[in-house]
Amino acid sequence: MPCLFKDKPRWTRRKEARPQELLAAALEQFVARGYAATRLEDVARQAGVSKGTLYLYFANKEELFKAVVRENMLPVLGEAAQMIDRFEGGGAALFREILHGWWQRVGATELSGISKLMIAESGNFPALAKFYHDEVIVPGKALIVRMLEHGIARGEFRPHDARHTAEAVVAPMLMLWKHSFRACQADAVVPEDFLDHFIDLCLHGLLAGSAHSPTEPLHAKTP
């Protein structure tokens, strides 16, 4: 069946829809090309508007990138914060919910390309790196700390420095990127299986009653 809207002029779309269309096109361009190589004219062309129209909403590429991050990443952080605030279950259940939620909302989606982009290009664009650090990384790690402290407060996790544990939790998660080397591995891991294993590994090192003392280094244990 032929498309009824095949000949409909693209400029007849609702004006109020354009910012969202521009942000969607920009996300795709930034992830595919990187920040430096992304051109505003390509973003505008993909969104079906003129470059001049893009400038009505965003002053430059930096402001467009910031808008992409705020539109896509901040809501995910907000939802995670609300979950932690309202969660009535144990620390282990919250740990699972947060990590699996991150994978579903970010890791398995095009959004993971933004984190990859920032690591790759932060040295060339320090102002953008600081923006991403302040608005995404800092609050993201703070959420992990709160998640861990939830389990500590309930007596389910042993006392520990949650800030350092947050760093240890974040690092392996980044290797699950949709846009990482995982994509070209012949024996690529199944992300959900990895998450389940990683969560199990973390929890058995955090749960009260673990085999080692909270103040005793693991390497000091004898068989």
Domain ranges of the chain: 10-62, 73-220
Read off the tokens for 135. Answer: 């608005």
3-state SS, residue 215: coil
Per the rule left: phi > 0, alpha: psi between -120 and 50, beta: everything else, 34 is left
Tens digits of residue pLDDT in 206-216: 777 654 444 44
Residue of 212 and 22 predicted with greater confidence: 22
Domain 10-62, second-level architecture: Orthogonal Bundle (1.10)
- How far apart (Å, rounded) are the C-alpha atoms in residues 157 and 209? 9
84 pLDDT higher than 90: yes
Work out the average pLDDT over 145-150.
95
- How far apart (Å, rounded) are the C-alpha atoms in residues 81 and 61? 29
Read off the tokens for 42. Answer: 């390509």
Using an 8 Å Cβ cutoff, are 25 and 47 in contact? Answer: yes
DSSP state string for 133-153: IIIIIHHHHHHHHHHHHHHHH
Work out the average pLDDT over 186-204.
78
Q: What are phi and psi of 88, to 5 degrees?
A: -110, -5
Tens digits of residue pLDDT in 36-63: 999 999 999 999 999 999 999 999 999 9
- How far apart (Å, rounded) are the C-alpha atoms in residues 151 and 129? 32
Helices (runs of H) and strands (runs of E) counted in the chain: 11, 0
Residue of 171 and 143 predicted with greater confidence: 143
* C-alpha closest to that of 49 among 67, 29, 31, 22: 22
3-state SS, residue 196: helix
How much is the pLDDT for 180?
A: 52
Is pTM beyond 0.85? Reply is no
Domain 73-220, second-level architecture: Orthogonal Bundle (1.10)
